[in-house]
Amino acid sequence: MRAADPPVIGHGLLEDLIDDIFGNILDLRECNRRLLEVLYVRQREEGPIILRIADIFLDAANEFRYAYPTYLVHHPTSEKRLKEELESNNAFRLFLEVSKGTMFLSCEINSCIQHCSRQQTARSGDSPKLDLKHFLNRPSEHLQKYPVLLEAVLHETAPENPDGEFLVEAIDAIRSLQSAAQLRTFQAAMGKGAPGKWEWHDLVSPEVREQFSKQEGKRQS
């Protein structure tokens, strides 16, 4: 966007637009870069069979503690500003249309690397070109997937392996991040938009709600 010619927005307004749309996404990228580096090191040290991984994700959860909630709290603002700019700014809308091809190519390369076994059944011509909104949603999707992936690892971990206990801690730590981000999003909404309409049960995990009596549920409501 900074290098766009012609510019996507008037002079002096571009940095505000970038801040509003992308928030602290560079912090997230740095957190995930470090996580990937540590995973590669563990793979080299212990491969082909990895005996411990929970310690890596416990450290990652600690690093994610600021970056992810901050990004997710800002996300409704990001979506709103993106929508407004697309509706009112033809140059910006055209820039994103052209950029879709680049983002699509990057996504296809990444997909080929991760899912090479499916290449014969997934033709690139059948894949949709993903828009910017899709990529801005990715951090939220990633945070939701980490506990699911770690639970799958836990399921395959032998009971005598001490990593099992730490896996449970890592899963709880990342889920607590999700809860904190959701609560802060609700507070920041100040009763506006979809997050502002959440009820108490939208902010409490199913595991916690199952422990409530009917009377406690009414009290919380």
Task: Give the total residue count for the chain.
Answer: 221
How many domains does the chain fold into? 1
Give domain status of residue 34, yes or no.
yes
Give domain status of residue 118, yes or no.
no
Give domain status of residue 164, yes or no.
yes
| Number of C-beta neighbours around residue 157 at 10 A | 20
Please return the burial class of 132, using the count of CB atoms within 10 Å of its CB with bins 0-12, 13-18 and 19+: middle
CATH code where residue 19 lies: 1.20.900.10
Give domain status of residue 114, yes or no.
no
Give domain status of residue 6, yes or no.
no
Range of the domain at 41: 14-102+133-189
- Decide: pTM greater than 0.95: no
Tell me which DSSP letter residue 129 carries.
P
Return the structure tokens found at 162. 């001490």
Give domain status of residue 194, yes or no.
no
Give domain status of residue 170, yes or no.
yes
- Asked whether 154 and 164 are in contact (CB, 8 A), the reply is yes
In angstroms, the Cα distances linking 40 to 46, 83, 153 are: 10, 38, 17
Digits of tens for pLDDT over the chain (221 positions)? 998 888 999 878 999 999 999 999 999 999 999 999 999 999 999 988 888 999 999 999 999 999 999 999 999 899 999 999 999 999 999 999 888 755 544 454 455 545 554 554 444 445 456 789 999 999 989 888 999 999 999 999 998 999 999 999 999 999 888 888 888 888 888 877 778 788 888 888 777 788 889 898 888 88
Tell me which DSSP letter residue 118 carries.
G
Query: What CA–CA distance (Å, rounded) separates 132 from 9?
Result: 17
